[in-house]
Amino acid sequence: MRGFDFTVIGSSSGLEVPLEVSDAGWSVAIIEEGSFGGTCLNRGCISSKMLIHCADVMQIIENAAAFGIRAKVESIDWQFIVKRAFVEVDADAAMIERGNRQSENIEVFKGPGRFTGPKTLAVDIPGSDEEELTDETILIAAGTRPWAPEIPGLDQMPV
């Protein structure tokens, strides 16, 4: 069983915490099952804004005549647009993970974590043995799943 001063489960909403705590000299474990950065970076806010920006550029081109510029959109390479967005997102997630791994007091555990007792966690690391951790302080920053309350007519609203 490995001991740490502080453990963070997840790497999205609690992203800054491990760096701050490790800078204070604490030993830190990060348990992350997926890509670093969470939903916002990988499948939500950031990646969708990159796609929306392409639509904004297209709209600017379509309205260029208002500025005395003759231009038109000849084609849209959707595969290129999506690939570009996710190559950037993947690079950002890898950079965040690399930065945490390079920190002197941080150790990253890639796999799902679960509580096995008070201040005790197990991490199922794919292709390896299970790691058991004991920790004084545990921050659960694992994000959440979308949920909509049951409101009559909500399912008929445009998204």
Domains and CATH numbers, the chain: 6-144 (3.50.50.60)
Per-position pLDDT tens, the chain of length 159: 899 999 999 988 777 888 899 999 999 999 999 899 888 888 888 889 999 999 999 999 999 999 999 999 999 999 999 999 999 999 999 999 999 999 999 999 999 999 999 999 999 998 888 999 999 899 988 777 777 788 888 888 776
Region for residue 3 given its phi and psi (left: phi exceeds 0; alpha: psi -120 to 50; beta: otherwise): beta
**Rounded-to-integer distance, Cα 47 and Cα 93, Å:** 12
pLDDT attached to residue 107 = 95
Residue 149 backbone dihedrals phi, psi, to 5 degrees: -70, 160
Q: Could you tell me the sign of the dihedral formed by the alpha carbons of 11, 129, 98, 18, in that order?
A: positive
pLDDT attached to residue 12 = 80
Q: Which residues contact 116 (CB under 8 A, 6 or more apart)?
A: 122, 132
pTM, two decimals, is: 0.78
Q: Which residues contact 14 (CB under 8 A, 6 or more apart)?
A: 8, 139, 141
**Rounded-to-integer distance, Cα 90 and Cα 100, Å:** 16
The tokens describing 125, both together, are 């690391």
Tell me whether residue 159 is exposed, middle or buried, using C-beta atoms within 10 angstroms of its C-beta: 0 to 12, 13 to 18, 19 or more: exposed
| CB atoms near residue 130 (< 10 Å) | 11
